Amino acid sequence: MYTAVIVVCCAPSSLLSEIADVIGDRKEVTADDVDKLKYTEQVIQEVLRMYPPASMMIKESPKGGVTLCSIYVPEGTPMSFVTSLMCRNPEYFNYPDTFDPSRFDAEKTCVGHRSCIGRHFAMIEAKVILANLQSDTASFIQAGGGTVEYPTTKGQYCLHSSGNCSLKQ
């Protein structure tokens, strides 16, 4: 969520507008509100694509082995997948370094049969948290117009905002 808050600070006003339009002056987010926060969900999905919480996964090759990039990997061999590289690969995403929540428009995406069972609950939780942060009467998050920099230099593993990211009290 820390990453999402940084991105929201620099997010397009359309995200903040959606939350304000759906929640209004109320302090509580309802189940109906969660269903209406479509753009908020797209923003969360794009944040997770660009800044995956699990930077690497280790799996075993399947029964019978597998051939990857013309290399045979025997059954049971541990294989590591760097998710942060996969999610920024132009082979899978057009303009992978561009923050574009519209790539997760419901009409364009699908989820396979091996989707995480807790995925839907986690999305509801994330939308409620972001909506609560923004819908506070003092407007907790104030858009600052900065950019979020992805760590690319050696030794950096944290995200940094290059502009203002103000949190009001």
Rounded-to-integer distance, Cα 147 and Cα 136, Å: 24
Backbone angles phi, psi at 157, to 5 degrees: -130, 5
Q: What is the pTM of this model?
A: 0.69
DSSP 8-state class, residue 68: E
DSSP 8-state class, residue 27: S
pLDDT class of 117 with cuts at 50, 70, 90: confident
- The predicted-structure confidence for 148-163, as pLDDT tens digits, reads as follows 444 443 444 444 455 5
- The predicted-structure confidence for 76-102, as pLDDT tens digits, reads as follows 999 988 888 888 999 989 999 888 888
Instruction: List alpha helices for the chain, DSSP H.
Output: 2-9, 13-23, 31-36, 38-50, 83-86, 119-135
